[in-house]
Amino acid sequence: MNLITGANGLIGSYLCRYLLQQGEKIRAIKRKNSDLSLVEDIKNAIDWVDADITDILSLEDAMHGVEKIYHAAGFISYAKNQRNNLLRINAEATANVVNVAMDKGIKKILYVSSIAAIGKNVNNNIVTEENKWEGNKNISDYSLSKFLGEKEVWRGIAEGLNAVIINPSIVVGAGNWNQGPCKLFTTVNNGFKFYTEGTTGYVDVRDVVKIAYQLMNSSITSERFILNSENIIFRDYFFMIADAIDKKRPGIKANKFLSSLAWRAEAVKYFLTGKEPSVTKQTAKIANSTYYYDNSKIMKALNYQFTPIEYTIQESAKYFKLYLQTGKFGHLDF
C-alpha cells in the first residue's frame, strides 16, 4: 500500500493517476473540507482517510498497513504574513511524517521538496545538489520552510530511515488554473503586460511523477535530485504561454526598479484591503534573478530524458481553453 500526502494538489493528483495506471494500491490523506476537483474522476479508486499531517495521531491511523509514502503535501506562499503556516506545514508536519514513519517501520519515503530548498552560490549561477545552504535576510520564508523540511528527512535518514528527496523546479502542467504555477496561464490570459529577464528552471509534472515512481522502486536512497527539464528566461516562458493560448505577449520589461515599485504598491494594497498581494518583494527578486539548475545527476541515475517545456505548455493550453469553456479542470495524459 502506498500513502500519498497532498493527493489533491498538482503533483499529488498526477501521482495518484500514474500509480493507479501501474496497478498500485493507493491510500491518500485528505481533510474533511479538501477540494478534490483534480482527482474527481478517480477518487473512487483511492482509499481516502481523513487526517492532517500536522496531527500525529491521525497520521498514525493513516499509516496503518502502509509500506511506502510519497510526501507531496506542502504549502506555497511568498506573502509575508504566511511565515507561521509555511513553517508549520512544510517543516513541522514533515517532522511528523518522518517520526511516525520510523515508528511504523515504513519501507521507504519519497519527499517532494523544491529547488527553493537548495542553496544558491552568489559566485556561480549554476545550481547543483551539492550547493551549500546559506541562510540570509534575502531568503524567502517558503525557501526556509522547505529547507527545514528537508532537514527533517535527513535527520530521519541519519536515524535509519530509507528515504530519497526530489527537488522539482517550477512544475508545468494542466491543473487548477487558479493557484500555483498553473495560475500563470490565467494571469497571461487576463492581459498581463509585464515580463522580466530573470531565468529559472521548469519541469513537466509527468516527469516529476515518473521519476518519483522510479526512485521509490529503486535501490537509490539517502540522495536528493534536482528535477528540471529546461532553464528558461521568464520572458520566453510568458511568451510561450501567450502564443499557446492565442493572447498578446506581455510587452513591458519590468526591470528591478519597476519590479520594486510593483511589490511596494501591492504591499500598500494589502495593508488597505487585506487582499493577498500578487507581487511580493521575494517574487519580484526571483523574477529578476538568473539561476541555471543542473539536471545531470538524475539523468545519469535513471537514464531519464525530460519532456520539452514548450510541448508541455502547448498540451496544457488545450486544457486551459477547455476550462475557459466548461469551468472544469483537466489533466495531461501519460
Q: What percent of the chain has pLDDT over 90?
A: 70
Q: Is 316 contained in some domain? A: no
Q: Which has the closest alpha carbon to 58: 18, 83, 20, 29?
A: 29
pLDDT band at 271 (very low <50, low <70, confident <90, very high): very low
8 Å CB contact between 20 and 39 = no
Query: Whole domain around residue 131: which residue ranges?
Result: 2-176+200-231+292-309
Cell numbers representing residue 70 in the block: 510519497
Name the strand (E) or helix (H) holding 47. strand 47-50
- Quote the pLDDT of residue 305: 96
Evaluate if residue 263 carries a pLDDT over 60.
no
- Quote the pLDDT of residue 262: 42
Paired sense of beta strands 68-71 and 47-50, if any: unpaired
- Weakest-pLDDT range from 27-36, 41-50, 239-248, 255-264: 255-264
Query: For the segment 60-73, what is each residue's pLDDT rounded down to a tens digit?
Result: 989 999 999 999 99
Cell numbers representing residue 260 in the block: 520594486
Q: Which has the closest alpha carbon to 316: 212, 168, 186, 167?
A: 186
Which one-letter amino acid corresponds to residue 62?
A
Quickly count: other Cβ atoms within 10 Å of residue 98's Cβ: 25
- Quote the pLDDT of residue 53: 92
Mean pLDDT for all residues in the chain: 88
Query: For the segment 55-112, what is each residue's pLDDT rounded down to a tens digit?
Result: 999 999 899 999 999 999 998 888 778 889 999 999 999 999 999 999 999 999 999 9
Q: Distance between CA 283 and CA 263 in Å, rounded?
A: 8
C-alpha torsion sign, points 138, 144, 146, 147 = positive
Evaluate if residue 329 carries a pLDDT over 90.
yes
| Average pLDDT over every residue of 216-231 | 96
Find how far residue 175's CA is from the centre of its chain.
12
Q: Is 126 contained in some domain? A: yes
C-alpha torsion sign, points 313, 307, 173, 40 = positive
Q: Is 130 contained in some domain? A: yes
Evaluate if residue 320 carries a pLDDT over 70.
yes
Evaluate if residue 134 carries a pLDDT over 90.
no
| Average pLDDT over every residue of 141-155 | 93
- Weakest-pLDDT range from 137-151, 279-293, 298-312: 279-293
- Quote the pLDDT of residue 230: 96
Q: Distance between CA 20 and CA 16 in Å, rounded?
A: 6
pLDDT band at 133 (very low <50, low <70, confident <90, very high): confident
Query: For the segment 234-251, what is each residue's pLDDT rounded down to a tens digit?
Result: 999 999 999 999 999 988
Q: Is 30 contained in some domain? A: yes
Q: Which has the closest alpha carbon to 173: 12, 3, 2?
A: 12
8 Å CB contact between 287 and 196 = yes
pLDDT band at 273 (very low <50, low <70, confident <90, very high): very low
Q: Distance between CA 30 and CA 48 in Å, rounded?
A: 7
Q: Is 144 contained in some domain? A: yes
Cβ-count burial of 163 within 10 angstroms (0-12 exposed, 13-18 middle, 19+ buried)?
Answer: buried
Furthest C-alpha separation in the chain: 55
Evaluate if residue 216 carries a pLDDT over 60.
yes
Provide the whole-model pTM.
0.91
Q: Is 18 contained in some domain? A: yes
Residue 139, CA distances (Å) to 33, 92, 118, 256, 332 in order = 32, 19, 11, 17, 33
Any idea what DSSP says for residue 126?
A: E
What CATH number should be reported for the domain holding residue 220? 3.40.50.720
Q: Is 73 contained in some domain? A: yes
- Quote the pLDDT of residue 1: 93
Q: What percent of the chain has pLDDT over 70?
A: 89
pLDDT band at 309 (very low <50, low <70, confident <90, very high): very high
| Average pLDDT over every residue of 23-33 | 92
- Weakest-pLDDT range from 38-47, 115-124, 196-205: 115-124
State the number of CA atoms in the 13 A half-sphere of 109 facing the CB. Answer: 32
The count of structural domains within the chain is 1
Cell numbers representing residue 65 in the block: 498497513
Q: Distance between CA 124 and CA 143 in Å, rounded?
A: 19
Q: Is 31 contained in some domain? A: yes
